[in-house]
Amino acid sequence: MAKKKDPAKKTPGADQFAVMAARVAAERRCKDIVVLDLRGKSPATDYFVIATGTSDRQMKAVAEEICQEAKKMRLQLFGRAGYEQARWILLDFVDVVIHLFDSEYRDYYDLDLLWGDAEKLIIDSFDSAQDRD
């Protein structure tokens, strides 16, 4: 049974955490990073962070660093999936869900299209990190 988000239990700074996770992904050279604002569109979460990794090692490192940063912000990881195979790593912090894909799985599942009506957050600092290549 899927968890249902309790509107009374808001994670403080969910938007800041989503942006931080996107920055971590950018600093670690992930591609096509998107932060989707799902407030009012999803009963399960407020934000998706979606990024494409270039290797399983990179994706695992990004996942670990995001989890470390979450601990510093006193955010608890509700669930983690796909870590061993590292084709699609999902980190569920309830109000923010992180999706780290390899390019094949990103194209196949196409969450960007599925949630196409969601607002995309524009974050200049990780856009410029992607442009450094």
Map out the domains of the chain with their CATH numbers.
14-125 (3.30.460.10)
The total number of residues written for the chain in this structure: 133
Tokens 């700074």 -> residue: 13
pTM of the predicted model as reported, rounded to 2 decimal places:
0.82
Distance (Å, rounded) from C-alpha 105 to C-alpha 52?
9
pLDDT band at residue 8 using 50, 70 and 90 as cut-offs: very low
Distance (Å, rounded) from C-alpha 111 to C-alpha 99?
9
- pLDDT value at position 121? 81
